[in-house]
Structure 1
Amino acid sequence: MKKNGLSYTLHGDYYLPDLEINEEEPTYGKYGIMRKQFLIEHRSAKYQYLVLTGKLTEHLNQADKEVKEKVEMLIEQMAEQWGVTEELKMQDQMEWVRRMNNIKANAEEVVLKENIYL
């Protein structure tokens, strides 16, 4: 019997899904891990669906890739907007590091709200 893209086998009076454990190690990064934790805690039905259909790793890798790209792009834009340049880096490295850390934290906060926590 096949339903919802899964195959089922009759065991006694019940049809149980034929599940396989995927032995490959997940390759997603920091943002993929954050997305997974959010799904487990706040979107359990979606998490279970992704696990059962074997699409969890693909979903988490995609989320990780998208967030990384958006954070990097936003960091570049914010650094330019706030005047954090290579010149500042040569003149005052500690100030440059402080500003870049602040920019990265702000960029991550914006992107995470839009892409991980929804």
Structure 2
Amino acid sequence: MLPKEETYIGKYGMLRKTYLKNYRKGMYASLMLSGKLNSHLSEIDRTAKERIEQITAKLLQSSPAPDKATDPMGWTGHMNNLRHSAEESVLAELIYN
């Protein structure tokens, strides 16, 4: 019996797990049998969050948001668009590959 790892796995880790289960069965089984699945998923989750923050910051530099005080809805929409773009990039780069 393998020791049970107690690791938090967030949204991106769970997306990665689903992807591996459905499309990379060999890799999933290998990680599972070696007891490294949870640490892999946790690492993917942490890395994905960091990359999204980095990409969002870069996008914000190249495309500044409207003033939050004078245009709160415009600011929110702009930030959501930047975050969505960053997330799309990270999903392709880390999760579904």
Could you tell me the TM-score, scaled by structure 2's length?
0.93
Partner of 2:45: 64
CA–CA separation in structure 1 for the residues paired with 2:61 and 2:75:
12
CA–CA separation in structure 1 for the residues paired with 2:83 and 2:53:
8
SS at match of 1:90: coil
Structure with the higher helix share, 1 or 2: 2
CA contact (8 A) 2:7 2:39 kept: no
Partner of 1:103: 82
1:42 is aligned, of 3, 6, 23, to 23
Deviations 1:4-62 (A, max 9, x none): xxxxxxxxxxxxxxx4362x554111100010000001000000011100000000011
How big is the alpha-carbon RMSD for the aligned residues of Structure 1 and Structure 2?
1.3
Structure with the higher strand share, 1 or 2: 1
Could you tell me the TM-score, scaled by structure 1's length?
0.77
Counterpart amino acid of residue 36 in structure 1: K
CA drift at 1:74: 0.5
Q: RCO (CA 8 Å, sep 6+): is it higher in 1 or 2? A: 2
Identity within the alignment, %? 38
The total of aligned residue pairs comes to: 97
Alignment pair present for 1:84 and 2:70? no
CA contact (8 A) 2:12 2:45 kept: yes
CA contact (8 A) 2:52 2:86 kept: yes
